[in-house]
Structure 1
Amino acid sequence: MKYEWIDEYCLCKKGTVKDFKVEWDAIRYLIGGKMFAMQGGDKEKKAIITLKCDPLFGQSLREQYQHIVAGYYMNKEHWNSVYLDGDVPDDVLKQMIDMSYELILGKLSKKVIKDIMEENS
């Protein structure tokens, strides 16, 4: 796989928990019990990572990169999937992971956010 750093990068984010969803055959990265990234495959088993994005930013990325598509099996407006055999630059993918993490974190309660940010401080 081209993006060997994805697992470590997702797990370095405060409060991230990783699990494996058998029914989806996918690894999920969660914050406060909510998924911000999912790594699995499409119907042809091609490796993808699915991330939440600001809708306008996500649309712009899909227009710019052929290996970024509307979220596979997700809300097409808010989620994007990146083919991991593609040519999306590392910095763009990291920016997408960061945005997804921040968007999900921002939806959590103030108490949960506070607990996450104080964890291992």
Structure 2
Amino acid sequence: MQMTERYSASAPTRAEVDALDGVTLLEFGTDWCGHCRAAQAPLASVLAGHELRHLKIEDGPGRPLGRSFRVKLWPTLILMRQGEELGRVVRPTHEQPIEELLGLGAITSE
């Protein structure tokens, strides 16, 4: 799948995210965050082998979607399926934890 390059300043509501059909990977962070930038190469590599929705959402104080997921560190990757959180990875530095996270979506979609 083609990875989204920049974090979106506009975010869906929690109800909209919970209503999404299928598997969705939420990525919370900011364009200026060093940890977020470091995670982009391994994330792009892993996403190239998967078909799923990827929402890259700018987070920060007063951002209700990130708060509803209790995001505290960036980047935080949350895998959702039909409104249910399957798992999350915080500050990934290599591909393995991202692959393991996305594997949860494959296991539960059978």
Provide the TM-score with structure 2 as the length reference. Answer: 0.31
Which is higher, the Rg of structure 1 or of structure 2? 1
Higher relative contact order (CA 8 A, sep 6+): 2
Structure with more of its chain in strand, by fraction = 1
